[in-house]
Structure 1
Amino acid sequence: MKRRSQRLQVVLDMEDRQEQAARERFQAAQQALAEQQQRLDELERYHEEYQHQIRAEASGTTSAARLQAGQQFISQLVAAIAQQQQQVDRYRATAEEAREQWQAARQRREGMARYIETCRRREAREDERREQKALDEAANQRFARAMQRQG
């Protein structure tokens, strides 16, 4: 019959796989968040550049229609930035949830590993006791035989 620590190894292997899957989901969520953040950063840079360009044109001889179109486009950029910020916030929440799930899976795996190690130490102590008992019994039998020969 297999020892408890050996039987529990199957559970530890399962916990390992679950932790690995959770870690991969977390890494994918982090990557997706980084991509969304990069899009937001690009929109904000473009907004700044375009605003600077409109200001420069406003100080020159640009038509009112052109300035109005520029302002309308800036308003659209501001709306796009707000939408992208919401997207970033959603992805950040998803990444945080994935991180928490990964940490929970890691803690379960570590807990199982510690429990298996405790079982192994207990099994080793039991083995030592059995071995010592067998040695003591063998010594007692040798002593009893030696006493019978003498007596």
Structure 2
Amino acid sequence: MSRRIERFKLLLKLAERKRKEAERLLGESQQRVQQAEKGLQQLKAYQLEYQQQFTAAGRGGLTSGQLQTYQAFIAKVGGAESQQHQALKQSRVQLEQVEAYWRKTHAHYRAMQRLLEKAVDEKQRLDEKRLQQQLDERSQHRPSAFI
């Protein structure tokens, strides 16, 4: 029975390693999503600021060269925003996959814990039963004091 418990302890230890690795991956994935969201917000703010500068400069009059420069830069920022949005979308998909993996490893870890607890309880119950049998046998073999 104790060999069985030792095997369960080993399995629990392995499950714990996987669970901890999944937690690490989950944290990294969450951080990537946050960074992508922050980068997207910064690009949107920068694009808005540059458009406001363009509007203000347009009121004072722009040459065709200046107009083309502003428009080209706004288009580049828009392209970068689109790429960042795609990166955010991909990071969210990866996060969902990592979350599913974490849930799976966490459930496996809890199952191993329950199996170990059950094996320990069973061993304890059997040990108590053996002890009671030994005590019963000893009490039957005692010579009577009234003879």
Q: Same fold (TM over 0.5)?
A: yes
* Deviation, structure 1 residue 89: 0.7
* Deviation, structure 1 residue 8: 0.9
- Structure 2 unmatched runs, 5+: none
**Where does residue 103 of structure 1 map in the other structure?**
103
Where do 1:39-78 residues align within 5 Å?
39-78=39-78
Quote the Cα distance in structure 2 between the aligned partners of 1:3 and 1:130: 18
TM-score by length of 1: 0.89
Quote the Cα distance in structure 1 between the aligned partners of 2:56 and 2:5: 75
**Where does residue 10 of structure 2 map in the other structure?**
10
**Where does residue 118 of structure 1 map in the other structure?**
118
Higher relative contact order, structure no. (Cα contacts within 8 Å, ≥ 6 residues apart): 2
Structure 1 vs Structure 2 CA RMSD: 1.7
| Counterpart AA for 1:91 | S
Q: How many residues align?
A: 147
SS of equivalent residue, structure 1 residue 61: coil
Runs of 4+ in structure 1 deviating by more than 3 angstroms, as ranges, are none
Q: Could you give the per-residue CA deviations for residues 75-100 of structure 1, whole angstroms, max 9, x where no partner exists?
A: 22112111110011111111221121
Quote the Cα distance in structure 2 between the aligned partners of 1:109 and 1:82: 40
- Structure 1 unmatched runs, 5+: none
Where do 1:126-145 residues align within 5 Å?
126-142=126-142, 145=143
**Where does residue 34 of structure 1 map in the other structure?**
34
Identity over aligned pairs, percent: 29
Q: Could you give the per-residue CA deviations for residues 9-46 of structure 1, whole angstroms, max 9, x where no partner exists?
A: 00100011111111111111222222222221211111
Quote the Cα distance in structure 2 between the aligned partners of 1:11 and 1:101: 18
